[in-house]
Structure 1
């Protein structure tokens, strides 16, 4: 167990980023197609192939997922992941045609201090290809890939991951790109909202404060009252080795959204584009009611942990006025 999404067999993750533009891409690849669906709770989402993931749509399984910075311009990243998969002969077959199925989602990082004057075409398609090309079982956390340019209301955001196992031995992993309009910490202190679910001091072991003040509970919003509606999003991918239908994957994604509520304050706002993808590799059968409920509970906790790890692992961007990292204040 590496406490990563890739603890699920047959899953690989790769990052590619450009330090000058302060943005990047993360590719999640499946060795064999995975049944998948999506749940969107934020008011300002940016997604690709969302309709395909609806349980009533025909295609059952996907080959990968692309997460990117760049706002809507970053949706090109999925094309780069598709290009890499096509070279491997991977994809949905229609007679002699092969079409890699790669949904994607983006977060807004265009105002983080990086140089976004990239010319006619944004770099995200090439970054998507590069991320897929280096996908592996081990991958970095923090200010990497799609999390390079991420921020929160008070600290640098980033990319986090965690994994867990149900009492029945079903595995689940989560990966989160934390670019929230709210805060992942209690007030401006060292405590993470996700502290009750922490395992093995994975994000500092600070617990919760002994009591809560009104200042701790006031809203901290990125950009203050003038925050723009499209500047924030937390992206989450959860993968399990359970056998799930597409409808059950949708339900798992819905339950997993609870993990965002346990880790980010406030969350699911008109200012956010919060999205959860849920995918299943289909190795272990579960009870469709009690088993899925237990898996959802564990998955939500794992999402909360992944979000906290993303901020805990992040490093500040090297630009004037950049937000500090949690580690700059509390490591």
Structure 2
């Protein structure tokens, strides 16, 4: 286990980013088409081809899912992913034609200090191609991929991931680009809101404060309308329907609520894709699904904290500090 979403059999992840533009793309690639759905609870989402993920729609599976910076410009990334996948013969077959199914979500990172004056051709199509070509079991966290230019209210955001195995043996994982309107740490301290879910010191092992001061509960907000959005993919190796994936995506939003304060506001487009690779049948449809839903929410909370914990600050004037810049020398008290 690598503590990455790629611990789920049949899942690969690729990152591509541009330091000059301070943005990037992350692709979750499935070795074979996977059932998938999406749950959108933020007030300002930016998406591509998500309508087909509704359980009643015809297409049953996706080839890849894309997370990208760039706001609406970033929606070009899915086209780059499709260009590579069609060369590989991947996609929905219609007569002698192949159309790769690649839904996408974007976040806003246009005001982070990078050069966004890219003229008539934003970089996202090429970044999408590069990300899918880089898809592998190992991938970078923090300031990487779709999390390269991400920020939170108080610290540099980033790309995070985590995984677990449920008591019934299902592997569940999450990957998230943390670009939150709120904060992921408690007040002005180093501890994460997701501290109760941490495993093996994966984001510093500092635990929770003995008491959460009232001041820490005051919302810390970043930027204005549209300058936010945390986007995620949760995946498992169970054989699920699109409707069951929708239920997992709904439940996984609890992970955002546990790790970001506030989340799901009118100022962000928080959303979660859920996918199932179908490697393991459910022993029965209700309890096992509940077990996967709990694991997906916990993994997503951990992934959020890891994304911020692993991030590096951007090298631009006024850039937010990284967690390790502010708190990296703090040690756990025995």
TM tier, smaller: over 0.9
For the residues of structure 2 that align with 1:288 and 1:271, how far apart are their CA atoms? 36
For the residues of structure 1 that align with 2:124 and 2:212, how far apart are their CA atoms? 42
1:282 correspondence with 2:278: yes
In the alignment, which residue of structure 2 is the partner of 1:240?
Answer: 236
In the alignment, which residue of structure 2 is the partner of 1:129?
Answer: 129
| Cα deviation, residue 288, structure 1 | 1.3
For the residues of structure 2 that align with 1:217 and 1:258, how far apart are their CA atoms? 18
| Cα deviation, residue 253, structure 1 | 0.3
Q: 2:254 aligns with which of 255, 258, 270?
A: 258
CA RMSD of aligned residues (A): 0.6
2:7 and 2:173 in contact (8 A); partners too: yes
For the residues of structure 1 that align with 2:87 and 2:130, how far apart are their CA atoms? 13
| Cα deviation, residue 285, structure 1 | 1.6
| Cα deviation, residue 214, structure 1 | 1.6
In the alignment, which residue of structure 1 is the partner of 2:332?
Answer: none
1:295 correspondence with 2:288: no
For the residues of structure 2 that align with 1:131 and 1:285, how far apart are their CA atoms? 31
| Cα deviation, residue 231, structure 1 | 0.7
| Cα deviation, residue 281, structure 1 | 0.5
Moved over 4 A (4+): none
In the alignment, which residue of structure 2 is the partner of 1:326?
Answer: 323
In the alignment, which residue of structure 2 is the partner of 1:40?
Answer: 40
Q: Which runs of 5+ in 1 are unaligned?
A: none
2:9 and 2:279 in contact (8 A); partners too: no
Q: TM-score, normalised by structure 1?
A: 0.98
Q: Which runs of 5+ in 2 are unaligned?
A: 329-334
For the residues of structure 2 that align with 1:182 and 1:70, how far apart are their CA atoms? 19
In the alignment, which residue of structure 1 is the partner of 2:63?
Answer: 63
In the alignment, which residue of structure 2 is the partner of 1:220?
Answer: 220
Stretch deviating more after TM superposition (205-214 or 153-162): 205-214
For the residues of structure 2 that align with 1:283 and 1:26, how far apart are their CA atoms? 24
For the residues of structure 2 that align with 1:262 and 1:269, how far apart are their CA atoms? 14
